[in-house]
Structure 1
Amino acid sequence: MIRLKRNNFVLIITSLLLTSCFREDEVVVPQKPGDVETVVIEMLPDYTIQTWFSFEHGIVSSGNRDSWDLAIETQEGNYTLWLNTSLFMYAAHTGVADFSVPLQTAGMEWKFDASDGSETGNAIGKWWTADGSGFRENGEVILIDRGIDGEGMPRGYLKIQPRIDPQSGAVSIRIARPDGADERVLDFPRDPARRFSTLSFDNGAPDPQTEPPAGRWDLLFTTYTTLLFTNTGEPYPYLVNGVLLNDTLVMAALDTLKPFAEIDRDYAETLWLSHQRDIIGYEWKQINGDVTSGDITYTAQSDWTYLVRNREGLFYKMRFIDFYNNQGKKGYPTFEFQRL
């Protein structure tokens, strides 16, 4: 994809629907349904806050969405790098291995990470190889568009070159401006307790890490980049506000047929659940008004119910009932949930 203007992208993402079953030996003893609980998530009107939520423990962690730039997979043998698409970030392959070569950002093929979480939609792609001696990087320099800040202003461009230490397997990122200025190297920790480990181009690896351990959360409330379509069917990327799954441990499905109050565990077990990261996504709120002018309001789709099977194999049902707080300010997703 050649990006001429920020609002005139044409990008085709091939989405891979990730579905699977829990292990056969995972037997969850049915429990008496829990009470219906109501939760308000504080994203703020400018959507600057990301929040990790657990059905069992409530809000686990929250932080500013610009506190990190890159995330890395922590599974053994997987070094996939993910952009912070809550900031509208993009990556472009250069085909250049010499980090000292000045690079231009114009005319590059810019891509963002697919919101479904599929590795086929990963913008940076597989930057490492494996052989009998272990893992090593391919050496390509990658351009990064750091996206926009909370006020919609560009955060600038960088070039990066990921590296793997051949002895320890530790990952580091060589970073500079496209012209080579401000070169530095940052270590990129990979905490196996987490789904991802994160890194800030400005401040290095946060301590503690931005994302909580994988076994402690189910849903992430955040902005993220996804593909929308005009009335004529033309695709374009857009920042949306929604919910992403802990997609290696949690599964979910949408039901628009049965009333929330009538959904029980037996019914939930008949549904096809998915690990797709954006299966809950952003469409639980309806947009009212003119998007182009910005004069819009949101209405929660309270007749939509999401069924979620969490990290412990427990079923929950949830529905969104508002996107505003008691003062009428947007950015406060409100939902009801109940353990089945």
Structure 2
Amino acid sequence: DALIRYADLGSDYNVQLHVQLHTGEIMASHPKDAWCTRFHFDEDTIWMDLNGSRFMHIAAMSQAMADGPLSQEESDDLPWGVNRPEGRDTSQVVRVGSIWAIDLGRDPANPIASLGSVRLECLSIESEEVMLRVSDLVTDQPEALSWDTIWVTHDQNVSQTHLSLLNREVVDIEPPTGTWELYFTQYTTLFETEDGEPLEYLVTGVLSHAEGVRVLQPEDGDWEYWKEVEWNSEDWSEDWDVLGWDWKSYSLSDGSYTINSDQIYCIATSEGREFLLRFLDFYDETGATGRVTYETLER
């Protein structure tokens, strides 16, 4: 039988939720400022992701800039960018000697305020550990920079190890691998524009970056059809943002959201279980936004 589930991000969208698909249970919940970057240890490659829920940005820096002065104007001129919402690319690979400028994004308590910026350097990499150092980004007195050293160790129980650059420490964020499939959160997406330049925009939706999860968004056919028809494995996507945000639309004239409940999603878990999912609502009983109501059916 189909089941109705809820995931409440709050009217300010300040919560991120790891959710188990077959039970609807929230396996972990944390505020958006609980972490800044996360590290995924993948055989011989280590990846670093930004917390896109805060509109964080990153820019590569040269080795010569690691300990040097940097004015606010020079910081503004760095080649800032965001992580792609559909998944990782080679720019996110961690290498010894890599140096990044990281904009820590917006303050969840005051979205027009910045949480500041840091410079982050990778000092060494072992098979199960990365050593980093972090300090303030903008300074006219580099000799006064105060560096903190942080060791990020591979935790075999989770897919990603999270780091707070605000508190400069590793933090316990993610539930064990295999216990969750969906991540309800705000995140930064990229819209195509007429001039070809991508527009960075903060949206609220669902990501599926848990290991082994695949999603299919059919172009046609209703709920009953996809409940019975064979699912073609060639159509599956491992992109993280297939569920995404566009199951809802916002009317500027009405000032309200409309849900496209005819939009169907097929989800396969790492265990091979198959689920149908559709979104039903984005409001709670008081009329506040942020509570996602969705329906699931295991085949």
Shift of 1:56: 2.2
Alignment match, 2:80: 110
How has the CA–CA distance of structure 1 residues 271 and 305 changed in structure 2, closer, same or farther, with 3 Å as cutoff? farther
Q: How does 1:246-261 map to 2 (within 5 A)?
A: 246-261=209-224
Structure 2 Cα separation of the partners of residues 212 and 304 of structure 1: 29
Correspondence for 1:315: 274
Q: Which has the higher helix share?
A: 2
The CA distance in 1 between the partners of 2:251 and 2:28, in whole Å, is: 31
Tell me which residue corresponds to 1:156.
116
Q: How does 1:1-340 map to 2 (within 5 A)?
A: 35-58=1-24, 59-97=26-64, 99-103=66-70, 104-120=74-90, 122=91, 125-128=92-95, 137=96, 139-150=97-108, 151-152=110-111, 153-165=113-125, 170-178=129-137, 179=139, 180=142, 181-203=145-167, 204-206=169-171, 209-230=172-193, 235-269=198-232, 272-289=235-252, 296-340=255-299
In 2, the alpha carbon distance for the partners of 1:77 and 1:270 equals 28
Kept in 2: contact 1:143–1:160 (CA 8 A): yes
CA distance in 2 between counterparts of 1:269 and 1:310 reads 15
Cα deviation for residue 119 of structure 1 reads 1.6
Q: Deviations over 1:219-264 (max 9, x none)?
A: 1011111112457765310011111113531111112422223322
Distance 1:278 1:56 in 2: 20
* Change beyond 3 A, Cα 1:160–1:315: same
- The amino acid that maps onto 2:252 is G
Shift in Å, 1:145: 0.7
Q: CA RMSD in A?
A: 2.1
- Cα separation, 2, equivalents of 1:37 and 1:256: 23
The answer to which structure has the higher strand fraction is 2
Distance 1:105 1:225 in 2: 21
Q: TM (normalized to structure 2)?
A: 0.89
> How many positions carry a matched residue from both structures?
287
Identical residues among aligned pairs (%): 28
Contact kept, 8 Å, 1:245 with 1:278, in 2: the verdict is: yes
Runs of 4+ more than 6 Å apart = none
Q: State the one-letter code of the partner of 2:102.
A: I
Contact 1:248 1:275 in 2 (8 A): no
Structure 2 unmatched runs, 5+: none
1:287, 1:297 within 8 Å by CA — same for their partners in 2? yes
1:214–1:246 Cα contact (<8 Å) kept? no
Looking at structure 1, the residues matched to 128 and 271 of structure 2 have their Cα atoms a distance apart, in angstroms, of 32
Deviation at 1:170, TM superposition (A): 2.1
Contact 2:58 2:103 in 1 (8 A): yes
